[in-house]
Structure 1
Amino acid sequence: MVALFIKLILAHLIGDFLIHPQKWVKHKNKYKQNSKYLYLHILIHALALAIILLFDTTYWLGFLIIIISHYLIDLTKIHLRTKKNNRWLFALDQLAHLLVIGVVVNIYEPYLSLIYNVNYSKLLLLLTSLIAVTSMSSIVMKTLISKWKIEDKGDKEDSLEDAGAYIGMLERLFVFLFILMGFMEGVGFLLAAKSIFRFGDLSRAKDRKLTEYVLIGTLISFGLAMVIGLIYNYVTVTI
């Protein structure tokens, strides 16, 4: 099962990323189903898939499912694409391709029956922890530090929209992952790395307010992620 899945993923990566110039993407977005590069793209996928499967005719049904679905998914994407939804469409496009690959793998090596053996308590605990370490922690942090009003208009003009929130979520996810892996050194490395990146902001501060504000936010963020990670590790042993 794993070997077949890896082969199909490799073929997908070759066709969708390795041999997929930006020139082709722009041409497809402009001419849609009339673009010659859309069909060349599908041909590349077919060749990559056939070669990696060693032209084994046993997989003819899976081959057809992947190639036809890839064409339909890509065609749908280029017709729905706008500047505003480009990122979401890219994510949904890749997810759709992965789902098709999962279906094909299940046709030849059924694995969906394994779902019945999944420990749903652990799965629900993981989902709960991920929500807690991202969305919930962001709201908790915002509430805790809302008593301080720190504004740096100069930096705000140069900052990416919502960048701070995304950085906070990513850093907590990394800390949570390090805790699950028992890799405490990673938490220290991440904290040190963030301190280095924020050194410029802190050195430009005219007083200690910004420094203290950043330190409080960082420590709360790391603390929440560590507590949630430790709770997850403790509870997962008991279920």
Structure 2
Amino acid sequence: MILFTKLLLAHLLGDFIWQPNSWVTDKENKKYKSKFLYFHILLHGTLAAILAGEIQFIPYAILIAVTHGIIDLIKLSFQKNNTKRTWFVTDQILHILILISIVLLYKNKSIIFFWKENNFWILATGILLLTKPTSIFIKTIISIWSPESQNSNQDNSLANAGNYIGILERLFVFGFILTGHFEAIGFLLAAKSIFRFGDLKEAKDRKLTEYVMIGTLISFGISTIVGLIIQSLLQLP
């Protein structure tokens, strides 16, 4: 389990945190001719090798990098503008399945990890998952319903404020679950609803209201599920 957690953390870092949008755009435009595709592959292999922390894992890290590149290249070659959401989800599922297969192949059962070290990797992966990766996932999923009626010149909100609010609310939910304060989640959801009510009432746009509700419920749902999973993992002997 701890090896998979480390590899998942490496995947989140390589695919979301340390992959600039400029890389993604260049890969989509140039596909296999993009130098950033190969930088991306190298980054994944390097992160997997470093976080695994064992010399003998290097061949498996190379295998992760190669398979990651193949999956990405297939996605880049076949995805269209109207199928990006489907390919995004498929791409991530395939990457996770590869990581699971690598762990099963490696059978890393001979190494003993301390309990606190296990907790660190599990918590770090859970927290990271709820930041940019989840933001990208939610944005991708609900982009099909993105309201078109709002004019950008009428938007007086802070730059990327919605993204940071979403990350903070998920981390709060995550913390509330780990500390056993489930009632605080209700207060957080109510507080956000109160603050959002004025904006939605002023907008007088049913589509915008539904869009915000869907995004909020998905955000709270993911953070709750991740929190419960991490809580269960931390309680394992």
**TM-score, normalisation: structure 2:** 0.51
Q: What is the percent sequence identity of the aligned residues?
A: 30
SS in 1 for 2:189: helix
Contact 2:46 2:61 in 1 (8 A): no
Query: Which moves more between the two structures, 13-22 or 3-12?
Result: 13-22
- 2:23 matched to which residue of 1? 24
Give CA deviations for 1:105-159 in whole Å, capped at 9, x if unaligned.
1223489xxxxxxxxxxxxxxxxxxxxxxxxxxxxxxxxxxxxxxxxxxx99449
- 1:102 matched to which residue of 2? 100
Contact 2:49 2:58 in 1 (8 A): no
Instruction: Provide closer, same or farther for how the CA distance between residues 30 and 199 of structure 1 changes in structure 2, counting only shifts above 3 A.
Output: closer
Whole-angstrom distance in 1 between the partners of 2:188 and 2:19: 36
Give CA deviations for 1:199-239 in whole Å, capped at 9, x if unaligned.
3454798xxxx9xxx9xxx9xxx9xxxxxxxxxxxxxxxxx
Whole-angstrom distance in 1 between the partners of 2:15 and 2:148: 37
Contact 2:10 2:48 in 1 (8 A): yes
Whole-angstrom distance in 2 between the partners of 1:203 and 1:77: 41
Q: CA deviation at 1:61?
A: 5.0
Instruction: Provide closer, same or farther for how the CA distance between residues 201 and 19 of structure 1 changes in structure 2, counting only shifts above 3 A.
Output: closer
Whole-angstrom distance in 1 between the partners of 2:96 and 2:12: 11
1:88 aligned to 86, 99, 110, which one? 86
Q: CA deviation at 1:80?
A: 1.5
Residues 47-62 of structure 1: matches in 2 within 5 Å?
47-57=46-56, 59-60=57-58, 62=60
Whole-angstrom distance in 2 between the partners of 1:204 and 1:96: 40
Q: CA deviation at 1:77?
A: 0.8
Q: CA deviation at 1:21?
A: 2.0
Residues 22-171 of structure 1: matches in 2 within 5 Å?
22-57=21-56, 59-60=57-58, 62-109=60-107, 157-158=149-150
Whole-angstrom distance in 1 between the partners of 2:3 and 2:53: 12
- The number of residue pairs the alignment matches comes to 146
Whole-angstrom distance in 2 between the partners of 1:102 and 1:189: 35
Instruction: Provide closer, same or farther for how the CA distance between residues 62 and 191 of structure 1 changes in structure 2, counting only shifts above 3 A.
Output: same
SS in 2 for 1:68: helix
- 2:125 matched to which residue of 1? none
Q: CA deviation at 1:70?
A: 0.4
Give CA deviations for 1:161-190 in whole Å, capped at 9, x if unaligned.
xxxxxxxxxxxxx9xx98xx7723422431
Whole-angstrom distance in 1 between the partners of 2:202 and 2:87: 41
Whole-angstrom distance in 2 between the partners of 1:48 and 1:106: 19
Query: Which moves more between the two structures, 85-94 or 185-194?
Result: 185-194
- Where in structure 1 are there 5+ consecutive unaligned residues? 112-154, 160-173, 223-239
Instruction: Provide closer, same or farther for how the CA distance between residues 36 and 204 of structure 1 changes in structure 2, counting only shifts above 3 A.
Output: closer
**TM-score, normalisation: structure 1:** 0.50
